[in-house]
Structure 1
């Protein structure tokens, strides 16, 4: 595969703007783009990627590329947008194929409305086909973001010629709030020890192979996760094992705030002002963490490496209760997991207080792609929400 530093800088240029590969020197400009806030929302949040925009990419793939979009009509060519694609090997049935995960899409208001996006996605995907051998990519979007969905799924008019999108997996970004008493404990749920490593890796490998675009897992892959994910340790994995030591379910809570990404509250307005008052009143009475004040960050953990044998809801329930009990006395606001809509796993969440945000994984291909025209709908995608 190509070395990003050996590739040409400029991927596309036309009147008024250009697209080029981002380099380490662009770190501050990219972090600034991510701090921009939608002040029309009831909860105004800033996503922060300081001090290293590229660190989140390195946690997932050494073959990660970002482009920065620049306004050529102004002095200094100010950035007005960016996008990233991370290339990796993935399972497709019994085959290992090369796929890309697209993320970090930001385009300022003045350049929206199909002014640049169709060209950006087409040229960037063509570059990845040539340099990384991928001819399909997928991405996560908010279901409520109709403007963003239309931009990705609509190939008519000004968008004719951009890669064709399809819905791969509708899902809920599900947050379990730490607001109640301890849950019933299942003694089968324990933290992983060194003696569990081989069984854990074997379980992860088998589960991912069953997923559409699942990760290709072996011990070297697992060791890379421990080394490259800041703060991740073997003992952070919670395992549910049967009597003979076989792993039936697992997950590893992981906090990205210290090194990779933070969600900082800028302002509560509209209905969120009243919801915050009610929530914080209950927090004072029951002794759980209040919502962050403006200027502070949410404190939460992603449930990474979440796998449940045969998607059995009872196993998920037992695993989550064990993790909930282990974390509830710390100042967390919630723990977050991906649950596909229509999955049997939804039944394993009934005892918890939840907040759900509807999202979708969208897959893209172009007419040059071997995937073009195939349906990629699945309830079991290979997707790590902590890295989205």
Structure 2
């Protein structure tokens, strides 16, 4: 009898899943641990309306030693809504690696894929995660094919009170959304989301319902830009720390030695300090960066306003903004002071998903950073 068993995890496994996350930091110059406290499943809906957790259990004690997630949601493919999958959160405790468990886990993903909910999947892999990049793109028997779809850039924009609000052109207004704006917000998104490949299909419940995708996002956290009374842009600051946390596991190289000196310098410059090992990174996640005509001036105005408001609140150190390398709004973020974290976007499929992948046109991909 094999030592390991694969099945679907449920709410009764919540503590085990969180234990595995806490024990599997992502390596790098700054090693980070991604937590889901106080409940893994309470925040799972942000990844997709349909959600499955494939768990690897050690039959010697029954505990979960690794897991991966398959979620499915409606997204825009070539401008039309279609069910698309997302594979994420692949974790395996170090002492159980190199035992062929990844291949067995993907074999279960393949069996689940037979339900026909999605033909094509998205996934992102950190460019610094060489082990995952090598293994998953190796073409090993049983694994789906990983097709590289370019870089997804994440900028950590420091929130400093020295940020100055940009004066808006005559006839422009930027303000927080209100309950009565939801209809106009959805209409605006529906008009513009076909411009991006894989843009999620959002409904009213996602903004005002208890079970919406935007968990803990308040309407007043969504900024709306108007010109002559017409809605021309959106950008939100999403506080996810109530259900998702990023903790510094440790610092590599000289950074660990110079961190105290850097923090003194950073405070003098009004910049956020580097947290101690075990400390949380305090940040807002930018959401819904959508602008009519991809107007850089509108986006710059929204971004500056969000930074000013977030800095004035004084509760977060960074604003995290994620955009694909082909997104026309990216140069606006590139012009800002930021630390950058790069991942690769992959289109993942078995043979039955190749027609969908090959039929994709050249629209810039869109990923909601807070849903990754």
TM-score (norm 1): 0.85
For residues 184 and 39 of structure 1, what CA distance do their matches in structure 2 show?
A: 36
Deviation string for 1:298-346 (max 9, x for gaps)? 1100001221233332222111111111111314221001121243323
1:48 aligned to 2:35? Answer: yes
Residue 349 (structure 1) aligns with? 333
Deviation string for 1:22-65 (max 9, x for gaps)? 01111111001000144964423322212211122223434211
Counterpart secondary structure, 2:53? strand
For residues 21 and 42 of structure 2, what CA distance do their matches in structure 1 show?
A: 14
Counterpart secondary structure, 1:215? coil
Counterpart secondary structure, 1:168? strand
Residue 17 (structure 1) aligns with? 4
1:215 aligned to 2:200? Answer: yes
Contact 2:48 2:72 in 1 (8 A): yes
For residues 137 and 26 of structure 2, what CA distance do their matches in structure 1 show?
A: 26
Number of corresponding residues: 367
306 and 346 in structure 1: CA distance in 2 versus 1, 3 angstrom threshold:
closer
Residue 134 (structure 2) aligns with? 150
1:47-66 pair list within 5 angstroms = 47-66=34-53
Counterpart secondary structure, 1:369? helix
Residue 32 (structure 1) aligns with? 19
For residues 180 and 127 of structure 1, what CA distance do their matches in structure 2 show?
A: 49
For residues 291 and 379 of structure 1, what CA distance do their matches in structure 2 show?
A: 37
Aligned pair partner of 2:159 in 178, 184, 187: 178
Contact 1:140 1:360 in 2 (8 A): yes
For residues 205 and 241 of structure 2, what CA distance do their matches in structure 1 show?
A: 26
40 and 249 in structure 1: CA distance in 2 versus 1, 3 angstrom threshold:
closer
Contact 2:207 2:219 in 1 (8 A): no
For residues 308 and 298 of structure 2, what CA distance do their matches in structure 1 show?
A: 16
297-306 or 101-110, which deviates more:
101-110
Q: Considering only aligned residues, what root-mean-square deviation do their CA atoms show, in Å? A: 2.6
For residues 223 and 348 of structure 1, what CA distance do their matches in structure 2 show?
A: 30
371 and 144 in structure 1: CA distance in 2 versus 1, 3 angstrom threshold:
farther
For residues 254 and 30 of structure 1, what CA distance do their matches in structure 2 show?
A: 24
Aligned pair partner of 1:123 in 98, 108, 112: 108
202 and 226 in structure 1: CA distance in 2 versus 1, 3 angstrom threshold:
farther
Which consecutive residues of structure 2, in runs of 5 or more, have no partner in the other structure?
Answer: none
For residues 268 and 13 of structure 2, what CA distance do their matches in structure 1 show?
A: 47
Contact 2:326 2:365 in 1 (8 A): no
Deviation string for 1:133-175 (max 9, x for gaps)? 21211111101212211222221xxx12321110224111111
For residues 39 and 334 of structure 1, what CA distance do their matches in structure 2 show?
A: 20
For residues 333 and 217 of structure 1, what CA distance do their matches in structure 2 show?
A: 29
For residues 377 and 281 of structure 1, what CA distance do their matches in structure 2 show?
A: 49
Residue 295 (structure 2) aligns with? 312
Residue 256 (structure 1) aligns with? 240
Contact 1:262 1:298 in 2 (8 A): yes
Deviation string for 1:185-233 (max 9, x for gaps)? 2443222233432221111222323322222234344434785644321
Counterpart secondary structure, 2:353? coil
354 and 368 in structure 1: CA distance in 2 versus 1, 3 angstrom threshold:
same
89-98 or 159-168, which deviates more:
89-98
1:138 aligned to 2:119? Answer: no
TM-score (norm 2): 0.89
Which consecutive residues of structure 1, in runs of 5 or more, have no partner in the other structure?
Answer: 1-13
139-148 or 23-32, which deviates more:
139-148
Contact 1:114 1:151 in 2 (8 A): no
Residue 335 (structure 1) aligns with? 319
Return structure 1 stretches of 4+ with deviation > 6 angstroms. none
